[in-house]
Homo-oligomer: A and B are copies of this chain.
Amino acid sequence: MRVAIVGASGFLGGELLRLLLGHPHATVVAAVSRRLPGRRVDGPHPHLRGQTGLRFCLPDDVPDCDVAVLATPHGATAGLIETWRKRAEVVIDLSADLRLRSAEAYHHYYGAEHPHPELLGTAVAGWPERHRAELAGANLISVPGCGANAAILALYPLAAEGLVEPTATVDARVGSSGSGHSAGFAGQHAVRSGAMRVFAPQGHRHEAEVAQATGLSVAMSATAVEAVRGVQVLCRARLHDAVDEVALHRLYRRHYGAEPFVRLVAHRRGVHRLPEPKMLSGTNFCDVGFSLATDGRGVVVVAALDNLVKGGSGNAVQCLNIRAGWPERTGLEFGGLYPL
């Protein structure tokens, strides 16, 4: 399958290149960058050195392709969808533009009218654990936000089975790579280093996605912490009725036991009892774990993933694997490093 990566010079673009250049059934036919046409992709993406001689090109120079993966900026991507749908059978969008179904929610969270409201609700959510069947036939796929994906995978099993009260909180801790290439003064190393910066105490944009996916009313905060890659969410929910830990284990295992990329990490002992993102760097795993209060009703669910992989590019490749009928793990076998 011939794949064009659009917006290939950013961090998500670099991950798409890493994953798809190593993918046995996909061929990267173009890496589109308006900023760096003609330049080698291993310039801004030095981890590709020695692995490819590919160069960036302009949109007009993209040859025939089957799939276009858009890693272009929020707001600007909606306007590109129709163009790329004409050029590729399958379009996978990593931006936020197609994630929400409601124009009102979009306006509330993004502070502007949606530029193409007619597109809302037309994409299948890039959420393989729930929409595997639809993804197999989808020609327009919208990949969730990194923090949203973690929170959704954390809370969905509880919400889907109607076990929890209708409000939940999500506190996300995020690394700096989520801010992309141009984070400005706030992203300068001297300023961002060692941060515990609550940049969104309330109303983080991913809140809307989590609410849409789980049906819960969600209050979400986000804090920038010292990390380059990684998102961790600590979610609090309250069960209608008290359960024991065994029941909770069983519930999560029922949902995720057969999933290739969701692992249950909820141990009683050891240093790494609950999910941590660092050891997930480069992997497509989302680890999910939980802790039950002594009253059997308060639940803390923790989930972690690599924001650039399961929180973006890897999830897109997983969706592509499903769409193309390839084994879901193809090209996503890397299992992570420890210590790191």
Known: A202-B298, A226-B227. A236 touches B49 (CB 8 A): no
Shortest Cβ distance from A107 into chain B, in angstroms? 14
Contacts of A215 in B (CB 8 A): none
Contacts of A325 in B (CB 8 A): none
Shortest Cβ distance from A168 into chain B, in angstroms? 11
Shortest Cβ distance from A111 into chain B, in angstroms? 13
Contact call A194/B336, Cβ cutoff below 8 A: no
How many A residues touch B, CB cutoff 8 Å? 84
Contacts of A338 in B (CB 8 A): 14, 45-47
Bound-state CA distance A190–B184 (Å) is 12
Known: A293-B202, A293-B219, A339-B190. A225 touches B173 (CB 8 A): yes
Contact call A279/B46, Cβ cutoff below 8 A: yes
Residues of A within 8 A of B (CB): 11, 14, 18, 22, 43, 45-51, 169, 171, 173, 175-177, 179, 181-183, 185-199, 201-203, 219, 221, 223, 225-230, 232, 234, 236, 263, 265, 270-274, 276-279, 281-282, 285, 287, 290-294, 298, 300, 302, 304, 333-340
23 pairs of residues in contact across A and B, judged by CB atoms under 8 Å: A18-B335, A43-B270, A46-B279, A50-B285, A169-B169, A173-B223, A176-B188, A176-B189, A182-B185, A189-B189, A189-B193, A190-B228, A194-B226, A195-B278, A196-B232, A196-B278, A196-B304, A198-B274, A198-B302, A202-B293, A221-B234, A223-B232, A282-B282
